[in-house]
Structure 1
Amino acid sequence: MDKIFLKGCRFYGYHGVFSEEKQLGQIFTVDLELELDLSRASESDRLEDTVHYGLIFETVKKQVEHQTYDLIEKLGGAICDNILEHFPEVQTVNISIAKENPPIAGHYDAVGISLERGRK
């Protein structure tokens, strides 16, 4: 299966269990990999034969910046569901979401989740 990917998309959101996360917010980094058939686009050179990744980016941005969830697992699932609902060409969504500054004492680059969702 062919793939489209978006790496290192950064958004400011208010997701988390702790009140500080909901009030102060933080940066969320999202990586996406979409599996779909790109053979028509690779032959035609037409945008209509692929998925517009700018629209995918806007879909993710809207979910991260305009919704709030306690868990990034829920955020990731909502993003996957939204992409699968609005972009029928996409067969599978792989998403990773990272929090660079969660309220955890210690030294680390980030904490996060990865999900894979596909059509049934």
Structure 2
Amino acid sequence: MGQETPLDRISLRGLRARGFHGVFEHERREGQEFVVDVVLGVDSRAAARTDDLSRTVHYGLLATALVEVIEGEPVNLIETLAQRLADTCLARPGVHEVEVTLHKPQAPIPHQFDDVAVTIHRRRQ
């Protein structure tokens, strides 16, 4: 896709799953909820023209794949988990770039807070 044509966006926000990620033993043992927002950069013109689901990203299947990553192999850092989620999105045909925001609202911080999140941007190589 040329630089002159901006990409369209497909957003999936607030997807929740229980994972066992973190540097502390109790995080690995007890787990906690993670919330992910993804914004996909796509060219949706073919899908719009043909009204054909196979010409775009099936966000229901993508959601299932993202939940499997969150529920999968534990990692220490949310940066690592965010990268795995981005890789999962970029593996989908038609996804040229992705923004992933991974929230860890129950992070082990001894102060009152609303959220901890990391946001990464990745492009297909």
Q: TM-score, normalised by structure 2?
A: 0.91
User: Could you tell me which residue of structure 2 aligns to residue 16 of structure 1?
Assistant: 22
What stretches of structure 2 of length at least 5 have no aligned partner? Answer: 1-6
Question: Secondary structure of 2:75's match?
Answer: coil
Aligned length: 119
2:40 maps to a residue whose letter is L
Identity %: 37
User: Could you tell me which residue of structure 2 aligns to residue 39 of structure 1?
Assistant: 45
Superposed CA RMSD: 0.9
User: Could you tell me which residue of structure 1 aligns to residue 35 of structure 2?
Assistant: 29
2:22 maps to a residue whose letter is G
Q: TM-score, normalised by structure 1?
A: 0.95
Moved over 3 A (4+): none
* CA distance in 1: counterparts of 2:35 and 2:86, whole angstroms: 15
Superposition deviation, residue 89 in structure 1: 0.6
Superposition deviation, residue 29 in structure 1: 0.6
Q: Which residue of 108, 121, 125 maps to 1:103?
A: 108
Q: Given the alignment of the two structures, is residue 116 of structure 1 paired with residue 94 of structure 2, yes or no?
A: no
Deviations 1:66-101 (A, max 9, x none): 22110010011011112222x121000100011111
